[in-house]
Copies of this chain bind each other. A is one copy, B any other.
Amino acid sequence: MLKVGLLGAGRIGRVHAINIAGHARSELAAVADINASAAEELAGLYGAKAGSLDDILADDTINAVLVATSTDTHSDLIEKATAAGKAVLCEKPVDLSLERAKLCLERTSGNGQPVMIGFNRRFDPNFAAVKAASLAGEIGKAELLSITSFDPAPPPVSYVKVSGGLFRDMMIHDFDMANFIMGDLPTSVHAVGSSIVNPEIGAAGDVDTAVVTLRYADGRIAVIKNSRRAAYGYDQRLELLGSEGLLSANNVMMNTVSKSTNAGVVSAKPEFFFLERYMRAYVAEWDAFVAAVLDGANIPVTLADGVAALALAEAATQSAKTGETVEVSL
């Protein structure tokens, strides 16, 4: 049984709490949050203790921590928790600073504790099926990947200002998806971005609409499209063209009902946002972490994967500013 300390009792922390408590081989032991009453309330729902970070790190009965705090604390918490002998599942991104993330990787690489980064989309059954089919050679050799990733609505400008920007905050998921599907890092990155959804986002120095092109050493190409707003909901698709065909992962719709009237054929919208769309992915992600810690199974998303995605985000941020193609290396 994996006894888990949850760091962070916000929206994403609560999603993880359900999965930790519902898993046959894990239990939620303790919850910490800078807002003590939030920690207490969440802990109460699952019969866990509320406590401080130090309490959790000092508690030898706790095997693992789940880091769901604000991004600026991630690197520190990964280092402290692994130093305290805990396995770690940390929400993305590792950090807003590539340098700091690399340092975190360096500092923790020798200590033997499993560290997994929460790129939950790798566990989406649809994207995972694309990866599996590609690996199995079902479309021959991969050549051209296209990722569409639109949020239903832009976040508040106050959030945008501290987010690290669209490439580090939002597209980082898609960079990881490209790394996952292509199984390699690109050698160069080109980005075009606009603030067309909300000019205040532009005034805050960020973009809300962007297209990034990745080129790989062997000539493969990937393109990622992001928008902060899709009026119809969360749009999460990808397509992989190979020498023998195309794999497409389409949206998960709210239901399978269609209505045909004089006005046309109307069907359901995509699941609204990440909690609905990736509900099954979060469950599978937690299951993979439990297996990694308890059974020594492979860590499916490593800290190095987190650093790699951040490197692409940093390159894209630079390219969008200069208009130039940016070389990538790690």
Interface residues of A (CB under 8 A from B): 22, 125-126, 129-130, 133, 138-140, 143-144, 146, 148, 150, 188, 190, 192, 194-197, 209-211, 213, 215, 218-221, 223, 225, 227, 229-232, 235, 239, 241-270, 323-325
- B255 x A129 contact (CB < 8 A): yes
- B133 x A241 contact (CB < 8 A): no
- A211 x B219 contact (CB < 8 A): no
Taking the closest CB of chain B, its distance from the CB of A327, in whole angstroms, is 10
- A209 x B221 contact (CB < 8 A): yes
- B260 x A256 contact (CB < 8 A): no
- Contacting residue for A245 out of B138, B223, B247, B259, CB 8 A: B259
- A230 x B241 contact (CB < 8 A): yes
Residue of B nearest to A247 (CB): B259
- B257 x A265 contact (CB < 8 A): no
- B259 x A246 contact (CB < 8 A): yes
- B248 x A129 contact (CB < 8 A): no
CB contacts (< 8 Å) of A246 on chain B: these are: 230-232, 235, 259-261
CB contacts (< 8 Å) of A133 on chain B: these are: 257, 259
CA distance in complex: A231, B225 (Å) = 24
**Which of A213, A220, A260 has its CB near the most chain B CB atoms (within 10 A)?**
A260
Taking the closest CB of chain B, its distance from the CB of A202, in whole angstroms, is 8
Taking the closest CB of chain B, its distance from the CB of A243, in whole angstroms, is 7
- B260 x A245 contact (CB < 8 A): yes
- A245 x B269 contact (CB < 8 A): no
In the complex, given contacts A129-B257, A194-B215, A247-B257, what are 11 additional A-B residue pairs having Cβ atoms less than 8 angstroms apart? A144-B227, A190-B323, A209-B221, A232-B245, A232-B246, A232-B264, A245-B260, A245-B262, A250-B256, A252-B256, A253-B265
Given contact pairs A264-B268, A267-B265, A196 touches B213 in the complex (Cβ within 8 A): no
- Contacting residue for A130 out of B139, B150, B257, CB 8 A: B257
- Contacting residue for A241 out of B138, B227, B245, B254, CB 8 A: B227
CA distance in complex: A258, B179 (Å) = 21
CB contacts (< 8 Å) of A253 on chain B: these are: 265
Taking the closest CB of chain B, its distance from the CB of A195, in whole angstroms, is 7
CB contacts (< 8 Å) of A244 on chain B: these are: 231, 261-262
Residue of B nearest to A266 (CB): B264
- Contacting residue for A255 out of B125, B225, B235, CB 8 A: B125
A and B contact pairs by CB, cutoff 8 A, 15 listed: A126-B257, A143-B196, A143-B209, A144-B211, A146-B225, A188-B323, A194-B220, A196-B220, A232-B261, A232-B262, A245-B261, A248-B257, A248-B258, A264-B266, A324-B325
- A260 x B265 contact (CB < 8 A): no
Given contact pairs A133-B259, A257-B250, A223 touches B243 in the complex (Cβ within 8 A): no
CA distance in complex: A22, B247 (Å) = 36
CA distance in complex: A251, B261 (Å) = 14
CB contacts (< 8 Å) of A218 on chain B: these are: 196
CA distance in complex: A140, B231 (Å) = 10
- A197 x B265 contact (CB < 8 A): no
Given contact pairs A146-B225, A215-B194, A126 touches B256 in the complex (Cβ within 8 A): yes
CB contacts (< 8 Å) of A231 on chain B: these are: 139-140, 242-246, 260-262
